[in-house]
């Protein structure tokens, strides 16, 4: 157990060296690789969206706006009367549903 503790720094150093070899790429000077924006703009061709894509995006946008409007309208509208009165009526008179089953004397 004592030998394991003594070899830990060497092991950590070895792991770090292997990590540097495998995963870390050497960093180059980024200032030389970056083009000025006007040059990049001249070299990059314009590629506008097709008409079909534009129409599809307009349709999706209109659908989203309609759904948003309906959600706002329903949020501001008062809710319907709750359906609880029918349930309360059955709870108040539990024999009302059994009248058909009880033979009359």
**What's residue 87's pLDDT?**
54
Q: What is the pLDDT of residue 36?
A: 87
Q: State residue 101's pLDDT score.
A: 59
Residue 100 pLDDT > 60: no
Q: How many residues does the chain have?
A: 105
Helices (H), the chain: 2-22, 30-33, 37-43, 51-76, 84-92
Q: What's the pLDDT score for residue 1?
A: 47
pLDDT, average across residues 19-37: 71
Q: What percent of the chain has pLDDT over 90?
A: 25
Candidates 83, 66, 82; CA nearest to 74 is 66
52 has pLDDT over 50? yes
| Average confidence (pLDDT) over 76-83 | 71
Q: Are 48 and 57 in contact (CB under 8 A)?
A: no
How far CA 35 is from CA of 66, 80, 103, in Å, comes to: 44, 63, 96
Check whether 99 has a pLDDT greater than 70: no
- With beta carbons less than 8 A apart as the criterion, state whether 96 and 90 touch: yes
SS3 29: coil
Q: Please determine, for residue 19, whether its predicted confidence score (pLDDT) is greater than 70.
A: yes
Residues 6 or more apart in contact with residue 57 via CB below 8 angstroms = 49
Indicate whether 51 pLDDT > 50.
yes
């Amino acid at each position: 157990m004592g030998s394991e503790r003594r070899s830990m720094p060497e092991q950590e150093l070895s792991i770090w060296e292997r990590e540097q070899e495998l995963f870390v790429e050497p960093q180059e000077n980024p200032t030389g690789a970056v083009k000025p924006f006007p040059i990049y703009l001249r070299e990059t061709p314009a590629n506008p969206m097709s008409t079909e894509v534009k129409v599809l995006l307009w349709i999706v946008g209109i659908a989203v706006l309609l759904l948003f409007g309906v959600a706002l309208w329903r949020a501001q509208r008062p809710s319907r009367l709750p359906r609880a009165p029918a349930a309360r009526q059955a709870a108040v008179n539990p024999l009302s549903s059994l009248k058909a089953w009880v033979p009359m004397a």
